[in-house]
Amino acid sequence: ISISVFPPSNACIGRYILNMQITSCGHTYQRCLGDFYVLFNPWCADDPVYMDNQAQREEYVLNEHGILYEGVHKHITSRPWHFGQFEDGILDICLKILDMGASYHHGSDRDHCWRNDPVHVSMVVNHMISSHTTNSIMKIPENNDYLKGTKPFSWNGSVPILQQWYNGRCRPVRYGYCGSLASVMCTVMRCLGIPSRVVTNFCFPSSVENPLGVNEIFDCTGKNLCGKDKLWRYHCWTESWMARRDLNQCCGDWQCLDPTPLETGRGNSCSGPTWVRSIREGELDLDYDGHHMFSRVNSNYVGWLAQNNTNKTKFFCDAWPCGQHLITKSVGSEQFEDITGAYKYELGSVKNKEAYYRAYRRINPGYCNASNCHIDRELSSLKNPFLSDSGVNMRLKMANCPMYGEDVQLQWLLENLRNENKTLKFHLCAQIITYSGCPMDQFWKDSVNVTLGPREVKKIPLCISYSQYGPYLCDHNIMKVVAVSDPECGEVLMVSRDIVINRPPVIVKLLSQPRLKVPCTAEISFCNPLQEDMKNCVMTLEGCGLFKEPMTIDLGTLAANQQARTIVEFTPYRLGSHRLLANLGCHKF
């Protein structure tokens, strides 16, 4: 007997048991024919997650390999990530996540009726990633303290995280960061049949008091002080494709889901789903957390110089607006795609201003009837004055692309825009900044007097040696260099630059062509670029279809400039596109 099952497009996703009841000669008995799974189907035109582009379906549903983009907006770095949605046992883990999070919106899960709606499924998954009180999948370390868990940046893929959560009685895995949280959510959504991708937003504001403004405070030496607001250098979230029947959408579109718990005024919580187009249009009443998502790509940056405990002064600077660069992996390519235009119109355009006015009136109830001119005056009072208004232009330009162990070389460019001499005293400093905008140690300070003739352009070389920044960098490979004028000289001028220190590469070379169930070998090599020993070196290898669990190799101590090579053997256990990932950890990073 051949049996075909055609579940309707509104069937609840999950695991089903198929029984056959047989009646013969007055006797009835049942036989279990087995079980099967029903998932969302982006190939089915009647399904709310239908996506009509085959190349996009292959990328956003079938592709197990992804790329995470990190760094700063002027120096974007990338690293591969294994989603692994088709690995053995992952589907059962994903359904367990729905079971554990079922009470989030519905109190009980007796009828399972919400499981045919990708909106509610995505909300449950989003909540379970890191916001559930006891059974969330992953935790973010408090105060950057992760001694009691795994370093957040050491993960290569979602599979070990999900397996550790499942095998550990659904207790949170320690620790992750926004990139791993968004990637794990992407794995779960793809596994359930919902097209999804990871998005990175550079210059991401986290403000408690002013939803459309983020404040950074500096002292007279240029040191970034820890305040209530944070300007994240980058932040990752997930986009999922679905038709929002709750918004009367008949066709699918991208919805923004942020699983990282952030301060929203009602405590820390995740955000979404939010229709990406509603963010661009400033239509914040339509959706879940619309005003939070709008502020994260449209906030103004405000810089302050703290001269004492009570007195703060706005300085002259050319601030980079928040959310001006949003990217994701391109379809069928290793390059990134700029999707900023999906979230906001071109800065300064008529449509951009209209959307901003619309959102401003909804976010600030006191301005619901205010004119556009009134809102413009209010915004002008909040922004920093431009450097050009002071008669001086400044810029910090990189002279090299430093790797761990190399000195940082910069060119400090100053231009006098006036027909008169200018003499200024500047304080310079450098300090470590985490990706989430938390200022760490200030490790370098200097002072310099600069005299500029009328219309003169001057270049001043700056050098920060590895011996100065190396002991402080640790896992945080971002530093901030600041030059700020002495307040006693009159107007306060500031220029700053975020600098990414590149990690040394790990080189993977296949020595034989991978074939199913045939042993294969690869050479992993790494060179210590430092003039000192690297201690506690551990290499972690991972690959979908290559290793059923990550392989760990203890390399011990690598001497200065020592080249380490190791040969590994593995046996591919399933067909598909395979990629071997290698990650090195040591006492330095």
Per-residue pLDDT at 1 = 77
Q: When comparing pLDDT for 104 and 26, which is higher?
A: 26
Phi then psi dihedrals of residue 4, to 5 deg? -115, 135
Which single residue is written with the structure tokens 């005003």? 291
> Is the model's pLDDT at 476 over the cut of 90?
no
pLDDT tens readout for residues 291-333? 889 999 999 899 999 987 778 899 999 877 788 899 999 999 9
Instruction: Quote the strand ranges of 130-177, DSSP E.
Output: 138-139, 173-174
Per-residue pLDDT at 262 = 84
Per-residue pLDDT at 265 = 59
Contact at 8 Å (CB) between 360 and 284?
no
Per-residue pLDDT at 252 = 94
Per-residue pLDDT at 577 = 76
**CA-to-CA distance for 549 and 543, rounded, in angstroms?**
9
Which single residue is written with the structure tokens 């009443």? 285
Q: Roughly what angle, to the nearest 10 degrees, separates helices 90-100 and 178-191?
A: 100
List domains and CATH numbers for the chain: 54-381 (3.90.260.10), 387-500 (2.60.40.10), 506-585 (2.60.40.10)
Distances (CA, A) of 431 to 70, 134, 394, 411, 472: 19, 36, 20, 18, 9
Per-residue pLDDT at 118 = 96
pLDDT tens readout for residues 38-65? 999 999 999 999 999 999 999 999 999 9
Contact at 8 Å (CB) between 462 and 428?
yes
Contact at 8 Å (CB) between 502 and 403?
yes
Eight-state DSSP code of residue 283: -
pLDDT confidence of 287, banded at 50, 70, 90? low
**CA-to-CA distance for 261 and 129, rounded, in angstroms?**
9
State the sign of the Cα–Cα–Cα–Cα dihedral 256, 259, 262, 266. Answer: positive
By DSSP bridging, strand 300-306 and strand 213-218 are parallel
**How much is the pTM?**
0.94
Per-residue pLDDT at 264 = 62
| CB atoms inside a 10 Å sphere around CB 426 | 23
* Type of residue numbered 583: N
pLDDT tens readout for residues 494-552? 999 999 999 989 999 989 888 899 999 999 999 999 888 999 899 999 888 888 888 99
Query: What percentage of the chain exceeds 90 in pLDDT?
Result: 66
Per-residue pLDDT at 266 = 58
pLDDT tens readout for residues 327-374? 999 999 999 999 999 999 998 899 999 999 999 998 888 888 899 999
> Is the model's pLDDT at 586 over the cut of 70?
yes
Mean pLDDT of the chain: 91
Q: Which tokens hold the place of 205?
A: 């504001």
| H-helix or E-strand spanning residue 415 | strand 408-416
State the DSSP string of 101-138.
TTHHHHS--SS-GGGG-HHHHHHHHHHHHHTSTTT-SE
Eight-state DSSP code of residue 223: P
pLDDT tens readout for residues 233-246? 999 999 999 999 88
**CA-to-CA distance for 160 and 174, rounded, in angstroms?**
12
Per-residue pLDDT at 224 = 94
Active site residues per annotation: 178, 235, 258
> Is the model's pLDDT at 474 over the cut of 90?
no
Contact at 8 Å (CB) between 434 and 72?
no
Q: When comparing pLDDT for 447 and 113, which is higher?
A: 447
Distances (CA, A) of 578 to 63, 516, 572: 11, 11, 9
